[in-house]
């Protein structure tokens, strides 16, 4: 083995240009692959981070402005959901399909005050499931629980941003204190994070409390529930169609009016996103593999030239006693050495490039509305993927070297000696 490496080292040393060219092809291939996958991962992480957080596995139904005149009503009528819609949703016909039904009230804007500080807030009566539906992340305290609703407790959950306004010195300490909203006082039971959320003014209070204080009617702002049964996009569309037709009939909305009833389906959003992710990932791998192929073609090309160039030398080696297997071994070992060494260099540089991306481009953020999105989040490639890609290139490089090597090993010594 040591002899073989010595032999390879001496050939590589004397064929510097060729070695450099082959090495460049390999390094470049791996470098591009890793940089590409890193950027792709960063993009997907950013996408997942900013979008996936707001997609929950449930369906939310709200009333909306109609877009078509129907049954004597003009277009542009605002539909208001009420208890009857709640009963319809909880009805016998949806048994086994719809479950975990919850609802919210409309919102009331108030000014919250505490010890002379004040901040605007939008009180909304919700149920404990609401936290998961809109993906609120608690930074301290707790969210509403069933007892809060049962006992109509005067409790409120604030955002960390609001807490900062009301208690600038120690925002966390606001939990447990009473804040005043007009003529009513609420005890703060928890704070939700505003860093990753697009809510800042929302102040959830128990549904029953809200109804008792602000809105004694049976109006409902939104109804949320989980469904079991529909799996594919088509099945979900069909379910939405059938479900909303019942509501449209109740509220006298044109059956073909796409508005009037607004349905936010987290399941289909998720399916769509999974599909988009899969497409991005597939596209990345296709690009990556094409890049790798160009590297492999580079290696095999140079191996082919190498073998042609060295035919005479192989003839000499054969004449003085080199067996075909030894010629084969020499070329393949050389090919592996080049691809492995330069592949490693390419891999290393690729990883460095990913780190540089992480430190530069990934720190840039774009603000859309109230959301701040980093274009790339953690744009790196796992060491396992990097090693696999390098290994793949080494194997491919070996195979690429094997064909010309096999040809060289089979050339008769007299023919090889005649070659220039």
Partner 1 sequence: MLIELKGIHKTYDNGQPLHVLKGVDLEIEKGEFVSIMGASGSGKSTLLNILGILDNYDEGSYHLGGTLIKNLTEKQAADYRNRMIGFVFQSFNLINFKTAVENVELPLYYQGVGRKKRREMAMDYLEKLGLTQWASHFPNEMSGGQKQRVAIARALITQPQIILADEPTGALDSKTSVEVMQLLKRLNQEDGITIIVVTHEGGVANETNKIIHIKDGLIGEIEENRTHSAWQGPIMK
What are the residues binding partner 1 (CB under 8 A)?
2-3, 6-7, 10-11, 13-15, 312-313, 315-326, 410, 412-414, 417
With b for 16 or more beta-carbon neighbours within 10 A and e for fewer, the 255-268 pattern comes to eebeebbebbbbbb
Nearest distance from C-beta of residue 340 to partner 1, angstroms: 22
Is 167 strand, coil or helix?
Answer: coil
Question: Shortest gap between Cβ of 342 and partner 1 (angstroms)?
Answer: 20
Of 14 and 228, the one with the shorter C-beta distance to partner 1 is: 14
Distance in Å, CB of 11 to partner 1, minimum: 7
- Closest to partner 1 by CB, 150 or 412: 412
Phi-psi region of 144 (alpha: psi -120 to 50; beta: other; left: phi over 0): beta
CB of 306 to partner 1, least distance (A): 13
Name the residue nearer to partner 1 (CB basis): 325 or 369.
325
How far apart, in whole angstroms, are the C-alpha atoms of residue 199 and residue 192? 9
Give the residue with the Cβ less far from partner 1, 290 or 414. 414
* Nearest-angstrom CA–CA distance, 286 and 314: 39
Cβ proximity to partner 1: between 15 and 198 the closer is: 15
Extended strands (E) in 182-260: 184-192, 202-206, 219-220, 222-227
Give the largest CA-CA distance in the chain: 107
Q: How far is the CB of 415 from partner 1 (least distance, A)?
A: 9
Nearest to 404 by CA among 322, 315, 305: 305
333 to 1, 29, 307, 393, 405: CA distances (angstroms) = 10, 20, 13, 14, 10
107 phi/psi in degrees, rounded to 5:
-115, 150
For partner 1, give the closer residue by CB, 14 or 183. 14
Report the residue number, 192 or 314, with the smaller CB distance to partner 1: 314
Task: Give the end-to-end CA distance of the chain in Å, rounded to a whole number.
Answer: 30
Burial of 179 (0-12, 13-18, 19+ CB in 10 A): buried
Least distance to partner 1 from the beta carbon of 298, Å? Answer: 23
Q: Minimum distance between the CB of residue 13 and partner 1, rounded to whole angstroms?
A: 8
Q: How far is the CB of 326 from partner 1 (least distance, A)?
A: 7
Q: What is the dihedral of CA 115, 120, 125, 130, to 10 degrees?
A: -100
Q: Which is nearer to partner 1, 65 or 410 (CB)?
A: 410
State the DSSP string of 77-135.
Answer: PBP-EEHHHHHHHTSGGGTTTEEEEEEE--EEEEEEEETTEEEEEEEEEE-TTHHHHTT
Beta bridge mates, 372: 367
The answer to whether 416 touches 312, Cβ cutoff 8 Å, is yes
Nearer to partner 1, 43 or 417 (CB): 417
Which of residues 6 and 95 has its CB atom nearest to partner 1 in the complex?
6
User: CB of 128 within 8 A of CB of 145?
Assistant: yes
CB of 399 to partner 1, least distance (A): 23
How near is the Cβ of 337 to partner 1 at its closest, in Å?
16
């Amino acid at each position: 083995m040591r002899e073989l490496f010595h032999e390879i080292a001496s050939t590589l040393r004397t064929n510097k240009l060729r070695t450099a060219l082959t090495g460049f092809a390999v390094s470049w291939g791996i470098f591009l692959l890793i940089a590409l996958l890193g950027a792709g991962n960063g993009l997907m992480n950013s996408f997942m981070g900013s979008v996936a957080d707001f997609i929950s596995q449930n369906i939310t139904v709200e009333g909306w402005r109609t877009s078509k005149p129907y049954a004597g009503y003009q277009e542009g009528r605002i539909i208001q959901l009420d208890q009857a819609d709640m009963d319809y949703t909880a009805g016998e016909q949806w048994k086994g399909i719809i479950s975990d039904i919850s609802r919210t009230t409309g919102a009331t804007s108030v000014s919250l005050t505490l010890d002379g500080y004040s901040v605007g807030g939008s009180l909304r009566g919700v149920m404990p499931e609401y936290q998961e539906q809109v993906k609120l992340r608690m930074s301290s305290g707790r969210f509403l629980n069933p007892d809060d609703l049962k006992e109509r407790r005067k409790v409120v959950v604030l955002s960390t941003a609001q807490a900062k306004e009301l208690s600038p010195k120690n925002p966390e300490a606001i939990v447990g204190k009473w804040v005043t909203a007009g003529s009513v006082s609420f005890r703060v039971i928890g704070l939700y994070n505003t860093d990753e959320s697009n809510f800042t003014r929302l102040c959830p209070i128990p549904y029953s409390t809200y109804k008792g204080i602000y809105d004694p009617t049976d109006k409902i702002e939104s109804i949320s529930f989980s469904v079991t049964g529909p799996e594919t996009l088509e099945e979900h569309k069909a379910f939405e169609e059938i479900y909303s037709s019942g509501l449209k009939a109740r509220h006298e909305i044109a059956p073909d009016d796409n508005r009037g009833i607004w349905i936010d389906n987290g399941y289909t959003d998720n399916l769509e996103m999974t599909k988009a992710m899969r497409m991005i990932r597939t596209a990345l791998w296709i690009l990556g593999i094409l890049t790798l192929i160009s590297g492999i073609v580079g290696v095999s090309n140079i191996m082919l030239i190498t073998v042609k160039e060295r035919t005479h030398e192989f003839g000499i080696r054969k004449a003085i006693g080199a067996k075909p297997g030894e010629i084969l071994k020499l070329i393949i070992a050389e090919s592996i050495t080049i691809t492995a060494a330069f592949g490693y260099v390419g891999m290393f540089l690729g990883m460095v490039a990913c780190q540089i991306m992480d430190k530069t481009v990934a720190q840039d953020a774009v603000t859309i509305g109230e959301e701040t999105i980093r274009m790339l989040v953690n744009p790196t490639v796992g060491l396992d993927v990097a090693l696999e890609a390098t290994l793949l290139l080494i194997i491919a490089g070996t195979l690429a070297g094997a064909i010309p090597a096999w040809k060289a090993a089979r050339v008769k010594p007299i023919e090889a000696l005649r070659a220039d």
